[in-house]
């Protein structure tokens, strides 16, 4: 009897903007050499699209986009461009050496952007989208259009703007929450509305680009995926303008860990998550917080005795992912004032000390006394404590 054939899960494309939106954040700029190193790593990570920069922004940015376009094969290479000929031409020239190239044209659509920044009426905005998307289509293999500040745009006008971009030839339609203002419920409703209303939407890829001003970038991106987004724009370590962008490691691991809920997949090589995060920290000199999900120093560390005992018996008691799966080494059992005997026995054994029950009790007390004054206990500290106890033990006549 033939078995039931399961449909393959749909793929969510990863559009990595570490080198553009990420790099725009204060303290995160990278020169061409650094961008090249990071781009090679993003390729290994499995990014589908690498936004290498904003060619018209500066000669350095132009140079970096061109260098990445020439050196990195596999992913599509993208440059950002405002909706004008000069920007689009600069993007096209910088992207020329790439095998697969995309120009990412953006224009503000929300009332505040139209009135305060662009000083354009709705009609003029639609006209600029039409003209510039058409112009970009002649200069690159594919064009992405972003309605900047989409989540604060009147839904009917947003739909009109996106329809115009599709009719002009854009094949990826990005709906950015430029200012990190939306919530999961709201973005789900807006993506659902666009899917149901925008003419031509079935022939293009809908994309989410969320900022973390309210700490919701990953949650909002996941809600957009649930409503049909099939590209998510993200960055390594979640870097980006102000509070940052959707963190690629968090998005990818949520989709993988809760495959039961999302039913989609990405092409990310998860073992490269740790190395990509560490390389970015090294290149920018900006560390991630210890409690950062997936890539923080504490993401797979356990100090509480009850947790340590559980993890030693079966890591699944307190870990929903394995650190080796995401290139983060092994789980760490940290000795401190909250830690327990099981972890101490294991750590002592690794240092060459086999502790029997009574010795373990004494060692445990010593460790806790030390930990009350120190933040954590390094191997050197533990060695000192254990050696002192062993010497005392021998003096007392034990063998
Ligand atoms: Zn952004």
Mean pLDDT by 10 residues, the chain (399 residues): 70 98 94 97 98 97 98 98 98 98 98 94 97 97 97 98 98 98 98 98 98 98 98 98 98 98 97 98 97 96 90 92 95 88 91 91 91 86 91 72
Distance 268 CA to ligand 1 centre (A): 21
d(CA 288, CA 22): 14
Instruction: Note the pLDDT of residue 147.
Output: 98
Altogether, the residues listed in the chain come to a count of 399
Query: What are 12-53's pLDDT values in tens digits?
Result: 999 999 999 999 999 999 999 999 999 999 999 999 999 999
Distance 201 CA to ligand 1 centre (A): 22
Instruction: Note the pLDDT of residue 27.
Output: 93
* 353: enclosing H helix or E strand: none
Instruction: Note the pLDDT of residue 1.
Output: 47
Instruction: Note the pLDDT of residue 179.
Output: 97
Distance 179 CA to ligand 1 centre (A): 8
């936004």: which residue's tokens? 51
Distance 240 CA to ligand 1 centre (A): 7
pTM for this model (two decimals): 0.92
Query: What are 90-124's pLDDT values in tens digits?
Result: 999 999 999 999 999 999 999 999 999 999 999 99
Buried b (16+ CB within 10 A) or exposed e, 247-274: bbbbbbbbbbeeeeebebebebbbebbb
Query: How buried is 190 (Cβ within 10 angstroms: 0-12 exposed, 13-18 middle, 19+ buried)?
Result: buried
d(CA 166, CA 162): 6
Distance 245 CA to ligand 1 centre (A): 7
What does 335-348 look like in DSSP terms, one character per residue? -STT--HHHHHHHH
d(CA 124, CA 145): 16
Instruction: Note the pLDDT of residue 62.
Output: 98
Instruction: Note the pLDDT of residue 376.
Output: 80
Instruction: Note the pLDDT of residue 127.
Output: 98
Buried b (16+ CB within 10 A) or exposed e, 204-218: bbbbbbbbbbeebbb
d(CA 14, CA 95): 19
């Amino acid at each position: 009897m033939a078995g039931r054939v399961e449909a393959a899960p749909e793929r969510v494309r990863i559009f990595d903007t570490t080198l553009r939106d990420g790099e725009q954040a204060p303290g995160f700029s990278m020169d061409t050499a650094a961008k090249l190193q990071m781009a090679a790593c993003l390729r290994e990570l499995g990014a589908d699209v690498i936004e290498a920069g904003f060619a018209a922004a500066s000669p350095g940015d132009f140079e970096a986009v061109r260098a990445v376009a020439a050196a990195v094969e596999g992913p599509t290479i993208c440059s950002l461009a405002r909706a004008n000929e000069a920007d689009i031409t600069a993007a096209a020239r910088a992207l020329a050496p790439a095998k697969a190239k995309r120009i990412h044209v953006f224009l503000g659509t929300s009332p505040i952007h139209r009135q305060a920044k662009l000083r354009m009426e709705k009609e003029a905005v639609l006209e600029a989208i039409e003209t510039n998307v058409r112009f970009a289509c002649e200069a690159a293999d594919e064009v992405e259009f972003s309605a900047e500040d989409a989540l604060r745009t009147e839904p009917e006008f947003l739909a009109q703007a996106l329809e115009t971009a599709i009719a002009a030839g854009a094949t990826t339609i990005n709906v950015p929450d430029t200012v990190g203002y939306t919530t999961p419920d709201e973005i789900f409703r807006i993506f659902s509305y666009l899917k149901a209303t925008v003419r031509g939407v079935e022939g293009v890829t809908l994309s989410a680009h969320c900022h973390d001003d309210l700490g919701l970038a990953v949650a909002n991106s996941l809600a957009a995926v649930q409503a049909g987004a099939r590209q998510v724009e993200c960055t390594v370590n979640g870097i980006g303008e102000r509070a940052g962008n959707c963190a690629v490691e968090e998005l990818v691991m949520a989709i993988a860990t809760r495959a039961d809920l999302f039913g989609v997949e990405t092409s990310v090589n998860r073992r490269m998550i740790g190395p990509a995060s560490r390389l970015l920290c090294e290149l920018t000199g900006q560390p991630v917080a210890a409690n950062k999900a997936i890539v923080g120093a504490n993401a797979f560390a356990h100090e509480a005795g009850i947790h340590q005992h559980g993890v030693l018996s079966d890591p699944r008691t307190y870990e929903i992912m394995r650190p080796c799966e995401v290139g983060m080494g092994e789980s760490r059992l940290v000795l401190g004032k909250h830690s327990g005997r099981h972890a101490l026995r294991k750590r002592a054994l690794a240092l060459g000390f086999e502790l029997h029950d009574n010795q373990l009790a004494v060692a445990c007390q010593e460790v806790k006394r030390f930990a009350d004054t120190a933040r954590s206990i390094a191997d050197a500290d533990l060695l000192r404590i254990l050696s002192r106890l062993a010497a005392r033990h021998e003096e007392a006549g034990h063998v």
